Amino acid sequence: MQAVRTRSEQRAAEAAVVVEATPHGSARSWSPEAEIGMRVEDIWDSLDVQQRQLSHGDKLNSCFDSIPVASFPHTFDGAQLVEIPSDATLAEAVDILSRNRIISAPVRNVDAPEDASWIDRYIGIVEFAGIAVWLLHQSEAAAKADDVGADELAAKLGTVTLEGAAAAAAVASKVTADAESEGAIAEVFGALPSSDLFNKTKVKDISGSFRWAPFLALQSSDTFLTMLLLLSKYRMKSLPVVDIGEGTISNIITQAAVLHMLSECVGLHWFEEWGTKTLSEIGLPIMRLSKIVKVREDEPALKAFRLMRRKGVGGIPVVDDGGRAVGSIMIKDVKHLLTASETNRDYRTLTAKKFIANARQSSGERQMSIITCSRGDSIKDIILKLDAEKRQRIYVINEEGNLDGLITLRDIIAKLVYEPPGYFGDFFNGVIPLPSNSRV
């Protein structure tokens, strides 16, 4: 390993971007993600010597198919993985997420026998935002059926203050770049214990609902190529890594963690050959303007969350009358609809523009702003911007400043590798069917 590292260090030093000297003159320590990049570099160089006829895409596929996912940096740093029992109530699930400062967790099937394999031990992964939107949807449906007024509906959902949310939101979970803090989660649901929906509904009862992901796990021996394909083409947001011998989860790999790994590879030859290409050259954005789900700034903020749930997306832009993006609403921002402030009380008529303004004023939500790029930017520029801003998506704008497309973390990963013919066989042909109402 040391010999490989030395060769990679020498190449990176020539690029003048990786090696830095400490005040004492010694080389800086390498991040685990950079170590992975150097392993790719070494395989890349060997392929240059052995198989010069390989295309750039074939070489990247071969590199990533040679590295096991056991090599991916561990998210939890040795900490015990948090699980939610399937018979836990939504209130208990939120409490678990809050206390552990995470926004999602695998759901353990309490009805599975003690000797069950890992594939039968878990029924999926539940997200904090999914619980919030499910409650909002159920309460909205009940209010519509009962013709409940806005104030009465707010009372049904519970009242919460946003005081101190800005400080709380600064505590980010290591599990994902989009994590909520303990304080932020507690503020959203702090007054909901009076709700029957919140107290009596079991986690297993919302299986397959919005932001619920099936439990599709990797084995330690699976390769990076398998991981990258599942996170991109097969639309998984996160992937547990299972220790088959122990039957336990040893790691969880997210799209954001992969993007951070790529950002740590800047300067390495294999990355630069791919990363210096412009968006247009690499085939991005995949999603065109006509397909982007959006709301106008004068439309109700509640419409944004309804659209996200209906379309199965995690965020949408807010545009003005001229089509210019003036902000972005993410699914996690649903917490601002459950506030008791006077400005947000009648949230069914609160406009998207006012909703963003109120949230920024009360909690300093920087991420309700929008980050943009142009088609002439390089994929490397986009990766570094998304990683620095801890975002899941970036909007492409044209020369007039109007929306021209959307790029997500999934889109970027999808352009890094491709699925070889028959790679997964018939694995996805009904072997693990998703619930009919699943929104992965």
Section 261-289 average pLDDT: 93
- How long, in residues, is the chain? 440
Of these ranges, 100-104, 173-177, 364-368, 436-440, the one predicted with the greatest mean pLDDT is 100-104
- Residue 106's pLDDT band (boundaries 50, 70, 90)? very high
Other beta carbons within 10 angstroms of residue 96's beta carbon come to 17
pTM metric for this prediction: 0.79
Q: What is the pLDDT of residue 151?
A: 47
Task: Give the SS3 label for residue 47.
Answer: helix
- Please give the backbone phi and psi of residue 205, each rounded to the nearest 5 degrees, phi first: -70, -20
Residue 142 has a pLDDT of 67
- Per-residue pLDDT tens for 21-34? 333 333 446 799 99
d(C-alpha 206, C-alpha 128), whole Å: 12
Mean of pLDDT over the chain: 77
Question: What CATH number has the domain spanning 84-148+174-259?
Answer: 3.10.580.10
DSSP 370-395: --EE-TTSBHHHHHHHHHHHT-SEEE
pLDDT tens by residue, 164-175: 222 222 222 333
Residue 186: exposure state from Cβ atoms within 10 A (0-12, 13-18, ≥19): middle
pLDDT at 234: 87
Residue 282 has pLDDT above 60, yes or no: yes
% of the chain with per-residue pLDDT over 70: 72
What number is the average pLDDT over the span 390-418? 92
Strand order in the sheet with 238-243: 218-219, 238-243, 248-254
Residue among 364, 404, 370, 362 nearest 389 (CA): 370
- What's the gap between Cα 17 and its chain centre? 28
Q: What CATH number does the domain located at 277-416 have?
A: 3.10.580.10
Cα 38 from Cα 13, distance rounded (Å): 12
Query: Tokens representing 309?
Result: 């749930």
| Parallel, antiparallel or unpaired: strands 295-296 and 315-319 | parallel
Model confidence band, residue 154 (pLDDT cutoffs 50, 70, 90): very low
Spatial separation of the C-alpha atoms in residues 95 and 185, rounded to whole Å = 8
- More confident position, 434 or 159: 434
In the predicted model, is pLDDT for residue 266 greater than 70?
A: yes
Q: Provide the CA 253 distance to its chain's centre, in angstroms.
A: 10
Instruction: Give the per-residue pLDDT at 8.
Output: 43
pLDDT at 257 over 90: yes
Per-residue confidence (pLDDT) for residue 11, from 0 to 100: 45
